[in-house]
Amino acid sequence: MDKKENFTAIGEWRQGFALMITLSVLSVVIALTIVLLGYFAKVKEDAETTKSLIQADIYYADILSQLNHYKNKKSILQRLYRFPVYLRTPDGRFNLTLRCQPLATGVNINWLAMEHLKGKRQHFQEAQILFETLAQEYDLEDADRLLEMILQEIALGKKFVKQEQSRLIKKHGIISYQQFSEIIKRYEMEVDDTKVSRVPWRKYFSFSNHADKIDAEFSSAELISYLFDIDLKTVREWMALREKPSLPVFVNENAGNYNEKKNLLAGNVFLEESRCSVRYGAGYRFTFDYIRGEAKYFEFYGKH
């Protein structure tokens, strides 16, 4: 190889080596850029969440102020039960939806722990029989274990609830369906029983450590059918009527015994026990309970 060819080979080797270094540097720069972009996106997301949490606090205070402004709580809450409030500015920069639902529409799940409480024997028996009925109907693998987990949660608080759900729990007892659903998930994994997730728990039970009565006016057709042993189709037909007879009249006309359950029912007394949910902005949400003029259990869920 002559000297010219030797210089050419060295030059090509240097160019190749320089190209390798350049590509390596570019790879590092690209990797760092991706990391930084991810970091900036996370910072932006955290900032948006913080901003939305501050907004939630403001909306929460404003909504409570408006609710407390009304002396006739029955009138305003019954309207909210039927028609959610939707607010939106013409330019679309602000939007908010407020929904409220009665808390005590079912048999309170916490009644399962009232076996030895004075004056609560009927409450306990109603909850126990309903639980056993659903467990049998849906053929749960280990109903005793599920009941044990529920009772432990009522007595001990957050034993079977994920840490991020702990803000929901201020007192002993099950105070929300979200809390109850964590127990269901834990049972399903432990026992390997997928049938438990098919049980329509919310159609039969309520989840509040305040509810001492069933607000049957807003109960599901399934629960009314169960409580009074009336055909489900008949109950649904009654509920669909624009002008329907009262629940006591309907029950007694269909061979049911309203008085047998009377101590468990709110009757004509309006229960000021509601759970409200507020959605706003780009999918943010928070909830709170509104019980006899007081707000409890504020929970911010972030973006959904």
Domain boundary among 167, 187, 212: 212
Q: Are residues 82 and 109 in the same domain?
A: no
Determine how β-strand 294-303 pairs with β-strand 95-102.
Answer: unpaired
Domain boundary among 196, 212, 228: 212
- Three-state DSSP at 130 gives helix
Q: Partners of 33 in the beta sheet?
A: none
Q: Are residues 179 and 200 in the same domain?
A: yes
Residue count (the chain): 304
Q: Are residues 165 and 84 in the same domain?
A: no
CB 226 within 8 A of CB 261: no
Q: Are residues 192 and 242 in the same domain?
A: no
CB within 8 Å of 284: residues ≥ 6 apart: 52, 55, 56, 301, 302, 303, 304
| CA-only gyration radius of the chain, Å | 29
Q: Are residues 171 and 110 in the same domain?
A: yes
Count of other CB atoms within 10 angstroms of residue 154: 19
* Number of structural domains in the chain: 3
Please state the separation of Cα 275 from the chain's center in Å.
10
**Closest by CA position to 287, among listed 208, 220, 221:** 208
Q: Are residues 3 and 70 in the same domain?
A: yes
Q: Are residues 208 and 108 in the same domain?
A: yes
Amino acid (one-letter) located at 164: E
Q: Are residues 36 and 74 in the same domain?
A: yes
Q: Are residues 5 and 58 in the same domain?
A: yes
Domain with 22, as residue range(s), is: 1-103+271-304
Query: How do the pLDDT tens digits run along the chain, 304 residues long?
Result: 554 454 454 455 555 545 565 656 556 556 555 554 554 444 445 557 677 788 888 888 888 888 888 888 888 898 899 889 998 888 778 889 999 999 999 999 999 999 988 889 999 999 999 999 999 999 999 999 999 999 999 985 444 444 444 444 445 689 889 899 999 999 999 999 999 999 999 999 999 887 889 999 899 999 999 999 999 999 999 999 988 899 999 999 999 899 999 999 998 888 888 999 999 888 889 999 998 888 888 888 866 6
Burial readout 72-84 (b: 16 or more C-beta within 10 A, e: otherwise): ebeeebbebbeeb
Q: Are residues 108 and 203 in the same domain?
A: yes
Q: Are residues 231 and 188 in the same domain?
A: no
> What is the predicted pLDDT for the residue at 15?
57
Domain boundary among 168, 188, 212: 212
Q: Are residues 148 and 245 in the same domain?
A: no
